């Protein structure tokens, strides 16, 4: 049986000025595919709600 090599991936997404409507499509895709999301107190809470609705 062959082993499949798994390569970890880190994507850094900037939330810009905090306006949810300004997040890029690439950033939305990265959030939707993420297993873990680290964020600080400055993140717009609507982005976190958006991520929750993706699953």
Model confidence at 9, pLDDT cuts 50, 70, 90, reads: very high
Query: Average pLDDT in the 25-40 region?
Result: 90
Average pLDDT across the chain, whole number: 86
Output the six-digit token pair for 24: 């890029």
CA pair distance 39, 42, nearest whole angstrom: 8
Are residues 25 and 9 in contact, defined by beta-carbon separation less than 8 angstroms? no
What is the percentage of the chain residues whose pLDDT exceeds 70? 96
Output the six-digit token pair for 9: 């991936």
CA pair distance 40, 15, nearest whole angstrom: 11
- Per-residue confidence (pLDDT) for residue 55, from 0 to 100: 65
- What are the boundaries of each domain within the chain? 20-53
- Per-residue confidence (pLDDT) for residue 2, from 0 to 100: 80
Cα distance between the two ends of the chain = 33
- Model pLDDT for residues 38-54, shown as the tens digit of each residue: 988 888 888 888 877 87
């Amino acid at each position: 049986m062959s082993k499949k090599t798994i390569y970890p991936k880190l994507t850094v997404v900037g939330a810009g000025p905090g306006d949810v409507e300004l997040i890029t499509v690439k950033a939305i895709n990265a959030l939707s595919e993420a297993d873990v999301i680290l964020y600080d107190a400055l993140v717009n809470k609507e982005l976190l709600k958006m991520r929750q609705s993706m699953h």
